[in-house]
Amino acid sequence: MRPMKASISHPIDTRARLGDLTGSKLTGTALALVTKAISACLSAQLPCGSLVGLYADNSPDWAIVDLALQQAGMVSIPVPGFFAPAQIGQL
């Protein structure tokens, strides 16, 4: 899994905190707790309304972080893993 970035200028490596949930089952309650915790971490580092580039391939982890960004009042900008550096630089 590649590191996800909170923004181009503020990278946050979520691998150790989130882990790969692919194939795992989450209850609605567990999903709410996970997204709330991630949202709190993001809110501690970035102000509400921040534009956040989410650099990751589609996965359950991506969806969870996207939900957490919404809860934190931030704007998620999907950045696919297949983007070339020049494409990322245009964001």
Query: Which DSSP string corresponds to 64-91?
Result: HHHHHHHHTT-EEEEE-TT--HHHHHT-
Q: pLDDT tens across 10-57, in order?
A: 555 544 345 454 456 778 888 888 899 999 999 999 999 999 988 888
Whole-number Å distance between alpha carbons of 30 and 32: 5
Query: Locate tokens 């999907």: which residue?
Result: 78
Query: Bridge partners of 76?
Result: 52
Q: Which two tokens stand for residue 13?
A: 């490596």
pLDDT of residue 58: 83
pLDDT of residue 30: 83
Name the most confidently modeled range: 72-76, 77-81, 85-89: 72-76
- Are 4 and 65 spatial neighbours (Cβ–Cβ below 8 Å)? yes
The pLDDT, as a whole number, for residue 36 is 92
* pLDDT for 8: 44
